[in-house]
Structure 1
Amino acid sequence: MVSQKVTIKNPSGLHARPASILAQAAGKCKSNVIIVNGSKQIQAKSILNIMAAAIKCGTEIEVQCTGETEAEDLKSIVELIESGLGE
């Protein structure tokens, strides 16, 4: 397992459009992608789970990847989040 902390930069947080972009990107990953927000663990491949977590702008989350391509998947998901997810 590899993980990295990242801060949500999108002004609306991880709501409909950003959650959709993130879930689509995570869906292309071969590894299991989990978002940790406080004590919650969210499956990043599910847009509904991401939206239900109501993660706001400025929140620090941890992205965890486990699987055969975990390092590459972590890098791509973190870069996507840091880019603002299509602000």
Structure 2
Amino acid sequence: MIEKEFVIKNKLGFHIKPVNALVQRITQYKSTVKIMKEDQMVDGKSVLEVLSLCVGQNDKIKVIVDGEDEEEVIRIIKNFIEHEIFQYEHQE
């Protein structure tokens, strides 16, 4: 199991387009993915559940990945949150 905390830096936070892109990318993997904000934990492979966290700019989240391909999954999530998500800043 891998746990990693992230601070969401993009201006719009987690809205439909980036969340959908991330979920599509990680659903092909076997590991379970949980995303936690404050005391709420959701299935990281569910667009609706991730959106229900209402993650905004500068919010801190914890990602928990567990399974045989967890290292690859956490690498994809880390890269997405730290780099790729910024391409969605001007889209709603």
Matched with 2:19 is: 19
Which protein shows a greater Rg?
2
- Distance in 2, matches of 1:76 and 1:51, equals 19
Is 1:36 aligned with 2:36? yes
- Distance in 1, matches of 2:21 and 2:11, equals 15
Is 1:65 aligned with 2:75? no
CA contact (8 A) 1:63 1:78 kept: no
- Distance in 1, matches of 2:59 and 2:28, equals 25
Moved >4 Å (runs of 4+): none
Tell me, which stretches of 5 or more residues in structure 1 are unaligned?
none
Provide the TM-score with structure 1 as the length reference.
0.90
- Distance in 2, matches of 1:29 and 1:7, equals 24
Counterpart code for 1:31: S
- Distance in 2, matches of 1:38 and 1:29, equals 26
- Distance in 2, matches of 1:29 and 1:61, equals 21
Provide the TM-score with structure 2 as the length reference.
0.86
Bigger shift: 21-30 or 46-55?
A: 21-30
Task: Give the paired residue count.
Answer: 87
Encode CA deviations 1:21-45: one digit per residue, 9 max, x unaligned: 1211221222001111111111111
- Distance in 1, matches of 2:8 and 2:84, equals 7
- Distance in 2, matches of 1:56 and 1:75, equals 22
Matched with 1:4 is: 4
Cα drift, residue 84 of structure 1: 4.5
Quote the sequence identity (%): 29
- Distance in 2, matches of 1:79 and 1:46, equals 19
